[in-house]
């Protein structure tokens, strides 16, 4: 798995990188917000450690922009007392936070959360007979491959995380756009209907079911009699 550290303070980068490498992450580093956004778009890391104090862009702004291009697990780094940052960070789509000064125990628990999440997604995909390729943004069933758009891929990834449970449209919107969702749900419906068609086209026998008034669930159809 890949982790991206977006931070300009070298001693912090070194300390975080050491922990991530121990957990067998490939570590990428960007010293500015702009560079971080570029690397995130190109390399699609599984985890992003984002310091909110960056030399070029506002950290919260970077967080929101990251959320619209990646479903990486975003961990914001903030001063121990900055509750305001935390609220804004979560609204912008952050998944978790660590505080400065930096604690290895704290970061390790986030690393484990990322690994659990990746495992849950892979297990669920396996159970449904699907395999996902994040680098190619494709999904494969029984030797047939569908290329997905970034949005379709992220919706599928979010549904797989739920282990057969229902995901609300609001949750999907937050996954895609953080707190910047305009509240118009039919945009999501278009992406979902395209995703459904692509899964049908590769012959996958399951479905992305609409649970009326609640949300969506990915499910395997019972074997035909
Ligand atoms: Ca900094």
Assess contact for 7 and 27: CB atoms under 8 A: no
Cα 32 to ligand 1 centre (Å):
9
Higher pLDDT, 181 or 196: 196
Per residue in 54-82, pLDDT (tens digit) is 999 999 999 999 988 888 999 999 876 67
Mean of the per-residue pLDDT values for the chain? 89
Token output for 27: 């570590």
Instruction: Please report the pLDDT score of residue 222 as a whole number.
Output: 65
Q: What is the DSSP letter of 93?
A: T
Instruction: Please report the pLDDT score of residue 139 as a whole number.
Output: 96
Cα 52 to ligand 1 centre (Å):
7
Angle between helices 59-67 and 33-43 (to 10 degrees): 20
Cα 8 to ligand 1 centre (Å):
5
> Is the pLDDT assigned to residue 25 strictly greater than 80?
yes
Cα 9 to ligand 1 centre (Å):
5
Where are the domains positioned within the chain? 2-117, 128-220
Stretch (H or E) spanning 187: helix 186-201
Cα 150 to ligand 1 centre (Å):
29
The whole model's pTM is what? 0.81
Cα 140 to ligand 1 centre (Å):
40
- Architecture category of domain 128-220 in CATH: Orthogonal Bundle (1.10)
Per residue in 98-150, pLDDT (tens digit) is 988 878 898 999 999 999 988 888 899 999 999 998 778 899 999 999 999 98
Rounded Cα gap, residues 190 and 17, in angstroms = 40
Tell which residue, 161, 156, 220, has the closest CA to residue 188. Answer: 156
Cα 74 to ligand 1 centre (Å):
16
Instruction: Please report the pLDDT score of residue 103 as a whole number.
Output: 84
* Fold (CATH) for 2-117: Rossmann fold (3.40.50)
Rounded Cα gap, residues 13 and 26, in angstroms = 14
């Amino acid at each position: 798995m890949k982790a991206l550290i977006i931070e300009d303070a070298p001693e912090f980068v070194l300390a975080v990188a050491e922990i991530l490498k121990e957990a067998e992450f490939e570590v990428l580093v960007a010293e500015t917000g702009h560079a971080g956004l570029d690397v995130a778009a190109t390399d699609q890391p599984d985890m992003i450690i984002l310091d909110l104090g960056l030399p070029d862009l506002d950290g919260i702004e970077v967080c929101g922009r990251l959320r619209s291009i990646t479903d990486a697990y975003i961990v914001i780094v903030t001063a121990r007392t900055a509750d305001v940052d935390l609220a804004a960070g979560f609204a912008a789509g952050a998944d978790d936070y660590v505080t400065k000064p930096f604690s290895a125990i704290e970061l390790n628990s986030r690393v484990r959360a990322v690994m659990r999440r990746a495992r849950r997604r892979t297990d669920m995909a396996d159970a449904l007979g699907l395999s996902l390729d994040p680098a190619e943004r494709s999904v494969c069933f029984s030797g047939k491959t569908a290329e997905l758009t970034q949005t379709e891929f992220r919706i599928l990834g979010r549904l797989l995380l739920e282990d057969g449970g229902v995901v609300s449209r609001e949750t999907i919107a937050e996954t895609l756009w953080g707190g910047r969702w305009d509240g118009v749900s039919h945009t999501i419906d278009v992406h979902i209907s395209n995703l459904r068609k692509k899964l049908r086209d590769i012959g996958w026998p399951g479905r992305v079911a609409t649970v009326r008034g609640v949300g969506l669930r990915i499910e395997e159809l019972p074997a035909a009699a």
